[in-house]
Structure 1
Amino acid sequence: MTADLRALGGADPHDVLGVRRGASPQQVTRAFHREALRGGHPDTGGDARAFRRLVVARDALLTTPDPGPVQAPGPSARPGPSAPPSASPGTTARPAPPPASADTNVLPLIVLLILFLVGVPHVLLALVIMLVP
């Protein structure tokens, strides 16, 4: 990544693409396309080095992680096992419901059931035709 940033020649990626700091990925992509259409693309007669600068600037802006809100570590942010919630006496804990992705395994069973219901009568009919004179 640092070797690629050298292609910018010390220029700020925001200045190369003409976007403000904190621009959204959609704004960065639009600015990249705009600059490429202005003659930065080698297929349209642009300079290959100039296009490389655009690509490096776009990649640098799109791959930079966005720092989220920073939380100060507090007593609840302490690592370690958490205490289970206290249950009232005489109650039992219910098991967690199955994940939603468990329904995706039903489709192959439905297809096999349909094939079985359609295929078995045909096989039986073929056997009857062969055995009965």
Structure 2
Amino acid sequence: MIIAVDFDGTIVEHRYPQIGKEIPFAIATLKKLQAERHLLILWTVRERGLLEEAVEFCRKRGLEFYAVNANHPDESLPTNPSSPCRKVRADLYIDDCNMGGLADWGAIYEMVHNGWSYEQYISRTIEKHSHGVSLWQRLFGKHSYFLL
């Protein structure tokens, strides 16, 4: 699978233009996905020196991307300032601006590794933790958060 990954707010805490602290398990999860033969593209708004800092930040932690703001490592970045769009083709985009925000990296790994959609992940998580309790009991039973 080709996976496009944002940097600020996804791999590191959002402190742009500085580099924030690494979000727990982000780099380790991405390295594990690479080991499973997924191609990772760094897909970020960062440019020039700020982009080089982000790439170097990941490199120092053992994470090398297949491509950076491009579909292929040999693809050149747009040079026309009136057309700065860097649309990359990917099977999956991991970004803190997703609807609902960024899932934790353990959930992201489990979804990618198992080929699950977010809905399948939620369904399986509920099944795993419900222990035969019906949806209505979970929602409105004596231990429900909806009754607080």
Q: Do the two structures share a fold, i.e. TM-score over 0.5?
A: no
TM-score by length of 2: 0.23
State the TM-score, normalized to the length of structure 1: 0.24
Higher helix share: 1
Larger of the two Rg values belongs to structure? 1
Question: Relative contact order, CA 8 A, sep 6+: which one is greater?
Answer: 2
